[in-house]
Every structure is written in structure tokens, then in C-alpha cells.
């Protein structure tokens, strides 16, 4: 099997269903050996089963690819470490990490329980940090041993992380945190041959059933703009050696559209050269806001 990832090894978290499954299959189709991680939990994180990860492994192998399942909890230190160890034990190397695992506990802010906040932060934000930490430690050791890798990390954020989303304060905060983690990791790990980028995808998955309810169903014979497989080609490229020089960037991907997000940049500014009074600061802020571009609305606000 040949392609832009031939000879590379990729680990994909949350790869038993939805976007993760599509990414794992697309990476394998382009020649990568894949570690398919999934706990097999419900959409809210409850339960667990080895079935989804193993099913994706079997699908990849049926098409001539190489894959192994990993069912450890990547939001624990031991689980994240074992993800990297599984790649090294099964295939002898690790070249790319696609952080994708997650679930939802949606509530309006005043109804959001502490456990729902903690659970979503844990799987999305901590579940990105720990695999990234252990993969980075391996790649740093390789670099220091004179074997500088062409390593790649693709983190999964969301439009909710870029703009916010009503009823998803926990999810939006976690996904925004992933963007900050991406920027820091890209800066810190560049010296070791590691590129780190983030993706804000929009696609039909268990997590987006309510969000995209009016646009979910594909029309027979037409381009299915919400298919998870539309997002995967960009993920495969970002996981390949071909994306040399691209790091610390954030992309949106939906259907046939790819957008480079430009992030926070300084807008209108004024400097008094001395301390403002509260009234003066307020007047100055209002003047600056009149000159500034309006922000995009939070998802769910009409």
C-alpha cells in the first residue's frame, strides 16, 4: 500500500467512530500503520467496549492495511504512555499523533454540574495533553540521539473553541484550551522535528447530531458535505512529511472547504502615556470598539 504516509506510523485517539474512524482509515489508505485508540464509550462518556476500536482495525486490515487496537484511557498518564508504547511495540516507531477523543455533557451554564465540567475537560483537554506529552518525550529522545524525526501532531479543536457555543461552556472552554496547547507545543517542540497543528472540523458524528440536525441527511447522488471523510484528507496531509514548515496553525475543515484561521491579532489601540481614569478608559474603549471589526457571533445566538 503506497501513499503520502507510506512507512509512517500514526496513533489516532477516539478512532472507533465518526471523525477518528475516518482519519484512521484515511491514514491507512495512504500507507500508514495505525494505532486505533478508543474506549468505546457512549456519547456522554459512559460505559466502554473494545468493540469499536477492534472493528476499525479489522476494516483497515481487510483493505490490506496495518493496524492494532489500543483501548487504554488516554486521559490517564499510564494510558497515554501505553498508547506510545503500543506504536513502538507493534510497528517500531511513531511518526504522527492525531488527538481526537472526546464526548459531550451539554448544559446551559447555570445548570452545568461540576462533574460535567470536569469530565469534558478531562477527555478533551487532558486527553490531548497527556498523549502529546508522551509522544513528545519519545521524539525528543530520538532527536537527542541524532535521529531527528519528521513528527506530526494534529489536535482537534472546534468552532465552539473558536467562537463559543451556547449550552456548551465546558466543551467550548476545553476546545479553546486545545488551541493554546497547540501554539505552545508547536513553539516548544520545533527544535525536535515536531510539527503541531490544530483542526476545527464540522462533520456528521454522534457529537453533532443536534447541532447539524437540519443539514445532516445526505441527498442521494449529491456531495455529502457533512461526511466525516471530507475532513480526513487534511488530517492525513498534516500527519505526513509533506507538510514540512507548517506548524502552529489552526484550520477549519467542512465539506469541500478548508480555511486557515488567523487567531487573535491586535486591533485598534490608543496609548495615553499615563494612567487612565475609569471614565476616560471607558470612553477610549468605546472609541476603539467603533473602529474595530465586529466579532463573529457565538454558535446558537441568532
Note whether 218 and 224 are within 8 A (CB).
Answer: yes
Q: Active-site residue 171, yes or no?
A: yes
Question: Catalytic one among 175, 192, 232, 240?
Answer: 175
Cα gap 187→247, rounded to integer Å? 8
Catalytic residue, chosen from 158, 165, 232, 240, is 158
* Whole-angstrom distance, CA of residue 179 vs CA of residue 144: 27
Active-site pick, 82, 126, 165, 171 = 171
| Strands of 257-261's sheet in order across | 67-70, 33-37, 9-12, 96-99, 151-156, 194-202, 250-254, 257-261
* Residues taking part in catalysis: 158, 171, 175
Amino acid at each position: 500500500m503506497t501513499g503520502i504516509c507510506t512507512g509512517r506510523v500514526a496513533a489516532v485517539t477516539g478512532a472507533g467512530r465518526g471523525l477518528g474512524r475516518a482519519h484512521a482509515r484515511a491514514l491507512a489508505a495512504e500507507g500508514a500503520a495505525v494505532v486505533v485508540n478508543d474506549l468505546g464509550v457512549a456519547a456522554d462518556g459512559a460505559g466502554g467496549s473494545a468493540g469499536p476500536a477492534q472493528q476499525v482495525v479489522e476494516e483497515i486490515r481487510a483493505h490490506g492495511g496495518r493496524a492494532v487496537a489500543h483501548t487504554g484511557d488516554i486521559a490517564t498518564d499510564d494510558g497515554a504512555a501505553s498508547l506510545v508504547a503500543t506504536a513502538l511495540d507493534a510497528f517500531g516507531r511513531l511518526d504522527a499523533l492525531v488527538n481526537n477523543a472526546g464526548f459531550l455533557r451539554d448544559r446551559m451554564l447555570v445548570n452545568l454540574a461540576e462533574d460535567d465540567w470536569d469530565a469534558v475537560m478531562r477527555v478533551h483537554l487532558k486527553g490531548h495533553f497527556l498523549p502529546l506529552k508522551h509522544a513528545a518525550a519519545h521524539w525528543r529522545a530520538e532527536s537527542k540521539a541524532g535521529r531527528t524525526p519528521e513528527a506530526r501532531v494534529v489536535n482537534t479543536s472546534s468552532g465552539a473553541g473558536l467562537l463559543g457555543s451556547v449550552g456548551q461552556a465546558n466543551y467550548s472552554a476545553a476546545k479553546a484550551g486545545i488551541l493554546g496547547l497547540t501554539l505552545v507545543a508547536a513553539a516548544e517542540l520545533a527544535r525536535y522535528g515536531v510539527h503541531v497543528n490544530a483542526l476545527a472540523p464540522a462533520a456528521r458524528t454522534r457529537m453533532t447530531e443536534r447541532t447539524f440536525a437540519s443539514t445532516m441527511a445526505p441527498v442521494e447522488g449529491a456531495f455529502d458535505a457533512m461526511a466525516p471523510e471530507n475532513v480526513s484528507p487534511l488530517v492525513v496531509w498534516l500527519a505526513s512529511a509533506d507538510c514540512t514548515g507548517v506548524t502552529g496553525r489552526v484550520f477549519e475543515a467542512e465539506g469541500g472547504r478548508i480555511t486557515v484561521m488567523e487567531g487573535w491579532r491586535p486591533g485598534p489601540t490608543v496609548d495615553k502615556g499615563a494612567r487612565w481614569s475609569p471614565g476616560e478608559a471607558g470612553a477610549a474603549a468605546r472609541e476603539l470598539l467603533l473602529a474595530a471589526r465586529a466579532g463573529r457571533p457565538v454558535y446558537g445566538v441568532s
